[in-house]
Each structure stands twice: as C-alpha cells, then as structure tokens.
Amino acid sequence: MSEADVFSFDNPREFLQATLHEKQKLNPRFSIRAWTRQLGLDHPSILARLIKGERTLKSPMAQKIADTLKLGGDARRYFELLVLFENAKTPLEKEVYQDMLGRLRPEGSFTSLTLDYFHVISDWYHLAILEMTQLRDFCPDPAWISARLGGGVPPALVRTAIERLLRLELLSKNSDGRLCRVPDGNLRIAAGAPDEAVRKYHRQMIEKALAAVEPVAVAARELRATTLGISKKNYKKACEIMSRFHAEISALAEKNGADEIYQLNTQFFPLTDKTNKNGKAGKS
C-alpha cells in the first residue's frame, strides 16, 4: 500500500515523488532501480524521467504503478483519473476529469490551489523553504536547499515545493530570477484548514525536535519541559500567554539577514485523563 495519500495530490508526478520519498524513509535501500524491477521496465531511467516529468505518464504505465503500490478502489481510480486529467487536451476534457476527481476526494473538491494549500500546511519543508529566502547566503538551487535542510528532502521535492509556493504567491521571482518572499505573504492557518494537514505538520515538527536532541549542540538549541496541574480556566490563560510568546519571538525574525532557520514548537497537552480503571469517564 502507498505511504503517500493520493487524494492529497492534483498531479500524478508529485504523487510519485512523494511516494518514492516516503518509501525511502521507511526503507533507505529502496530505490528507483528497485521500483523499476517491480514494474518490469528495461531501465531505471524510464521511471526516473516519469517521476521528473520529462516523460509523459500514460494509462497503461499508471495501472502498473498502481499495482506495485497496491492501490485499490477509489484511491486507484483517483490516481488513474489524475493521469487522464494531466493528459487531457481540451478545457472540456479537463473540466470533466476535474469533476470526477472532486467526486472521489473525501472532501468533495478538486482544485489546484486547495491541494497546494493542504501541502504547504502539512509538509514541513514548505515553510522552511519560505523562511530560507531570508538567509544571508540563500541559493535558489534545489540541490543547495536540499543539502541545507540536511538532505532529508530530495531536490525533486524541493523543486515541487518551490513551484507550489510560487502558485500560492507566497514566493515570487525578481528580474534576475532570484526567489523572494512576497511582502505580506505570510501563511495564515485558517480555522477551516484540514485537520489531517495540521496534525501531519505537528507530527513532523515533533519528530524534528526529537531528532535534534542528540546531534545538535546544547548551546544551539533550547528544549524545556514543565509538568503542572492546571484548571480549565487557567488553561485558557496559558494558551493566551503562549500565543503572545510566539508573536514576540516571531518579531525577532530577520529580513534577508538570517544565519539559520529555527523552529519554535510548544506542546501543551494533558498527561492524565478522567477515566477510571474500568475505562469509564469520571465525574467532573
């Protein structure tokens, strides 16, 4: 079964990129060559060019890929429709496939900007790339960005993320082709943002914080933890304090003069619950 959620994509190439990335995270030995063998292709370059968008993905190959990913039901149909949507020659064809894709998506809509927004919220490296444009030594080359992010995000995904940020007008290109953050182009997480996108983002950032405990020098990070008993009334006050704290830290952000990109996380969650030993809710 595919590790990437196909319903989160409006482009089959991006889905394949994300799937390869997720598979390699779970199994570093997995490669395009290994996937090529599963597909019965003659040479890895065929699949590599499909993933990069240098070769058109047609329906017969899409069906083979769906088989290797064990896509079934609506997920398989959605992937196959994505391929038809990308290959459509006329606006009418595009409109027909877009309507069919929208009917299959759990949220019931299919628009490029909606799905772009989902990815920017849910995949941590989008906001990191956005902030990286403020670095003194920033270079727009996807390979440079990938390396500066620690190598965990392949250049192909970096390139896709940049394209997405440009479409959402959070990034722009100036006359000499340099990537620039759009003035007042801050991403605001709306109240109606998909819950899964927000959860995925926080899971990723908590994992990043955990990964920083050992390799990052103590002087280069600040990790604190406090355990306390609190009432519902004071819980709300604590959230207000944390909100102000984040705003004050954000005010320290450099404009075109940053040395590194930092991540500030605060997690405030219950360690206890009101269930008794039988698992029944207790009285308030």
The predicted-structure confidence for 205-218, as pLDDT tens digits, reads as follows: 888 888 888 888 88
Task: Tell me phi and psi for residue 180, to 5 degrees.
Answer: -135, 145
213 in a structural domain? no
The reply to whether 242 falls in a domain is no
Q: Which two tokens stand for residue 122?
A: 């849910």
Tell me, yes or no, whether 282 lies in a domain: no
pLDDT at position 274: 72
| Ranges in the chain, pLDDT < 70 | 1-3, 91, 107-115, 184-196, 275-284
Which tens digits make up the pLDDT trace of 5-44? 888 888 888 899 889 988 888 888 888 898 999 999 888 8
Nearest partner of 36 among 53, 22, 20, 21, judged by Cα: 20
Contact 121, 130 (CB under 8 A): no
- Total structural domains within the chain: 1
> Is 186 part of any domain?
no
Domain for residue 72, yes or no? yes
Residue 74, domain extent: 6-110
The reply to whether 243 falls in a domain is no
